Amino acid sequence: MSRSDRTLDLIVYLLLTVLVIITLYPLLYVVFASLSDGDQLMAHTGLMWRPLGFSTLAYERAIANPAIWTGYWNTLRLVAGGLILNLTMTVLGGYVLSRRDALWTKPLMIAIVFTMFINAGIIPFYLIVRELGLMNSLWSLLLPFAVKTFHLIIVRTAFLSLPSELEESAQIDGASHLTLLLRIILPLSMPVIAVLLLYTAADKWNMWFMPSIFIQDRTLYPLQLVMREIIINNVTDQISSGASVGEAQKIGETIKYATIVIATLPVLLVYPFLQKHFVKGALIGAIKG
Amino acid sequence: MKGMFPAAGSSLKARLTKDFKRHKWLYLMALPVIAYYAVFQYSPLFGAVIAFQHYTPMKGVWGSDWAGLEHFRTFIGSYYFWRLVRNTILLSLYALLFEFTAPILLALLLHEVRSRTMRTVAQTIAYMPYFVSLIVVCGIVKELTRSGGPLNLVVLNLFGGEGQDLLQQPEMFRGIYVMSEIWQRAGWEAIIYLAALTTIHPHQYEAARIDGASRWRQIRSITLPGLLPTITIMLILRLGYMMDVGYEKILLLYNPVIYETADVISTFVYRKGLLDNDWSFSSAIGLFNSAINLVLLVTANYISRRINGNSLW
């Protein structure tokens, strides 16, 4: 092994180690801060390598905040609704668009792909949702996003890749379209369906902008919107109520961090197990449509 | 041929009608999807005519007075026009330079690691930020850059200054934006390049080794050329969305003090349209933005097809 090759090895290991630390540190910082004592955290500047003091008070306060739990509940409803709605729509659409013997599917496909490139912008879209009377209901976060063109193309491509003999023999047996779809095509396409479900769930979990313009009723806020109030807009006074102003401010900082942990940990604990499917999804998405 | 099969020679309309009758159930299945696209994708396209009107909800799209190109002229003539265009383009260019190259470099690094454990660990950790929600990422960015925060002190030590909140300093915004994007996405976006790398045949490296090529040389002559088609496609896709800078992140991070560098076309549309309810004017700006996007995409695709035959259509 030549010297230049060994230099390369060294550089690679060094760079990767630095990158791993840079990637992890911000997350660790949050965890440390969430477990810190409010006073010490307020006085602290710069890097932190362990919790300053130790206090779980922030977690007690954050958990006692009902907004977090209504947020979780609304997000859960959104995810569940999104999974059912988007799955049904995308699979139905993907099936129709993957039929080779029907004449109308081609123009339909063109009309659908067209929408990926031409975009009217947010305002006309917002006005339609308003006009339909969906404002201030969770439906405003479900119906307008019931199909993602990108997902539809992925599912269609997967259906198209199945051998056409399957459908031919099913049709000879007199199977209807619905039977063919539910009994034959869907069971053979489980990997792509799993990817579709994961991406839909992730979409709904992350939603905050659309809720922020469509939802005014605070009891309907999904988790991310609740989070925005606490960690971006710094509204922690209600959570730390009962304390004096100075104290509330001190606890407020740590409550922010504890809230971040509570709202992020479930996903970070689950993702290593789902990583494989997500990766598959990223790769399917990269293939030319 | 046509004469032999009279059915094939019949008019298109007749064929479509016949096909429609034969596949009645199929088209019934398509109905929900068609309805979705009609209501939520196509009707906003027609609704965009309000960009040429003085739209008020009372009069509706059909009854509102026409404004012609007035809103477009007002926008282009306004003093913030160049600021918005400049910010949008600069932020996109920065993102293109750094955010686009970061995953490629990361994929090369991961490709060159020989220890499998190191590779797996690094990869799993690199994906992690992708699973943190945008709100939380922006929350973390705010904490790290606030006066006294770790990143703030790093900047203070390197460049001096008074150590005030970095998000209150206009010259810092683009750097913070791009860095947080890289932190959250680079690991994830490297997946596509890593997959492309696995399609390079091991024989090529073997042959290179026998010829005495160093690993540096192998990267330059085998690995990088192997990545090129993927890089091109990703680049075209990217160029098509040049004007769509991540407005959600900007909305969460910016404040009036740094509008000078942080305010982009889409955030301006948001403020005018959804906060001030100036719907016609903001629709016009949105339309302006979409039009530039489309031109960019078509151009990028055309150039790429001419140069190396990779294109989206």
Q: Is A205 in the B-facing interface, judged by CB distances under 8 Å?
A: yes
Domain final residue, candidates B68, B87, B106: B68
Residue B201 falls inside a structural domain: yes
Residues A128 and A16 grouped into a single domain: no
Alpha-carbon span B237 to B301, nearest angstrom: 9
Residue B1 falls inside a structural domain: no
**Per-position b or e across B182-200, b if 16+ CB within 10 A of its CB:** bbbbbbbbbbbbbbbbeee
Residue A178 falls inside a structural domain: yes
Residues A96 and A175 grouped into a single domain: yes
- Reference A231, options A17, A18, A71, A12; nearest CA is A71
pLDDT given at position B132: 93
Residues B213 and B103 grouped into a single domain: yes
Residue A227 falls inside a structural domain: no
Token pair 């010297």: residue:
A3
pLDDT given at position B4: 42
For chain B, residues with pLDDT lower than 50 are: 1-7
Residues A29 and A115 grouped into a single domain: no
Residues B129 and B259 grouped into a single domain: yes
Residue B163 Ramachandran class (φ > 0 left, ψ -120 to 50 alpha, else beta): left
Residues A60 and A72 grouped into a single domain: no
pLDDT given at position B6: 45
The residues pairing with B54 across neighbouring beta strands, listed in sequence order, are B65
CB contact under 8 A, A232 and B286: no
pLDDT given at position A105: 86
- Reference B25, options A117, A104, A84; nearest CA is A104
Burial of B134 (0-12, 13-18, 19+ CB in 10 A): buried
Alpha-carbon span B127 to A250, nearest angstrom: 33
Residue A268 falls inside a structural domain: yes
- Model confidence over A41-65: pLDDT tens digits? 888 887 888 888 888 888 998 888 8
- With beta carbons under 8 A apart, name residues in chain A contacting B251: 209
Residues B149 and B193 grouped into a single domain: yes
Residue B182 falls inside a structural domain: yes
Residue B28 falls inside a structural domain: yes
Residues A248 and A267 grouped into a single domain: yes
Tokens of B64: 């509102």
Residues B161 and B59 grouped into a single domain: no
Alpha-carbon span B261 to A167, nearest angstrom: 57
Q: Is A13 in the B-facing interface, judged by CB distances under 8 Å?
A: yes
Residues B189 and B285 grouped into a single domain: yes
Q: Is A204 in the B-facing interface, judged by CB distances under 8 Å?
A: no
Q: Is A127 in the B-facing interface, judged by CB distances under 8 Å?
A: yes
Domain final residue, candidates A174, A189, A218: A218
Residues A70 and A47 grouped into a single domain: no
Percent of chain A topping pLDDT 90: 48
ipTM: 0.89
When scoring B25, B36, B53, B292 by the number of chain A Cβ atoms within 10 A, the one with the most, hence best to mutate, is B36
Q: Is A209 in the B-facing interface, judged by CB distances under 8 Å?
A: yes
| Cα dihedral A54/A56/A62/A63 (nearest 10) | 160
Burial of B48 (0-12, 13-18, 19+ CB in 10 A): buried
Question: Residue B291 contacts by C-beta under 8 Å, 6 or more apart in sequence?
Answer: none
- With beta carbons under 8 A apart, name residues in chain A contacting B36: 89, 146-147
Residue A224 falls inside a structural domain: no
Residues A210 and A84 grouped into a single domain: yes
Residues B175 and B296 grouped into a single domain: yes
A89: distance to nearest CA of chain B, Å? 6
SS3 state of residue B159:
helix
**Mean pLDDT, chain A, integer:** 87
Alpha-carbon span B190 to B202, nearest angstrom: 20
Residue A261 falls inside a structural domain: yes
Q: Tell me the CATH number at A134.
A: 1.10.3720.10
Q: What is the mean pLDDT of residues A149-171?
A: 87
Find the range with the poorest average confidence among A67-76, A189-198, A237-246, B286-295. Answer: A237-246
Q: How many domains does chain A have?
A: 2
Q: Give the structural domain span for A185.
A: 66-218
Residue B313 falls inside a structural domain: no
pLDDT given at position B2: 39
Residues B118 and B46 grouped into a single domain: no
Tokens of A96: 């129709």
Residues B183 and B248 grouped into a single domain: yes
Q: pTM to 2 decimals?
A: 0.88
**CA A90, A125, A232 angle in degrees (round to 5)?**
95
Question: Residue B118 contacts by C-beta under 8 Å, 6 or more apart in sequence?
Answer: A13, A16
Residue A225 falls inside a structural domain: no
Residues B130 and B224 grouped into a single domain: yes
Residue A247 falls inside a structural domain: yes
Q: What is the 8-class DSSP label of residue B283? A: H
Residues B234 and B140 grouped into a single domain: yes
Reported as a pLDDT band with limits 50, 70 and 90, residue A69 is very high
Alpha-carbon span B31 to B168, nearest angstrom: 51
Tokens of B208: 């290179």
Which residue from B48, B106, B133 is facing A124, i.e. has the nearest CB?
B48
Q: How many domains does chain B have?
A: 2
Domain final residue, candidates A218, A244, A264: A218
CB contact under 8 A, B44 and A47: no
- With beta carbons under 8 A apart, name residues in chain B contacting A9: 112, 114
Alpha-carbon span B18 to B24, nearest angstrom: 10
Alpha-carbon span A251 to A237, nearest angstrom: 9
pLDDT given at position B57: 82
Residue A228 falls inside a structural domain: no
Residues A70 and A197 grouped into a single domain: yes
- Model confidence over A73-130: pLDDT tens digits? 999 999 999 999 999 999 999 999 998 888 888 889 999 988 888 888 899 999 999 9
Q: Tell me the CATH number at B294.
A: 1.10.3720.10
- With beta carbons under 8 A apart, name residues in chain B contacting A104: 16, 19-20, 23, 27
Residues A11 and A137 grouped into a single domain: no
Q: Give the structural domain span for B272.
A: 79-308
pLDDT given at position A244: 61
Residue B130 falls inside a structural domain: yes
Between A208 and A234, whose confidence is greater? A208
Residues A127 and A12 grouped into a single domain: no
Residues B32 and B106 grouped into a single domain: no
pLDDT given at position B12: 80
Tokens of B61: 């799209």
Residues A84 and A123 grouped into a single domain: yes
Residues B56 and B83 grouped into a single domain: no
Residues A132 and A194 grouped into a single domain: yes
Residue B235 falls inside a structural domain: yes
Residue B74 falls inside a structural domain: no
Q: Which of residues 181-200 of A touch B (CB under 8 A)?
A: 181
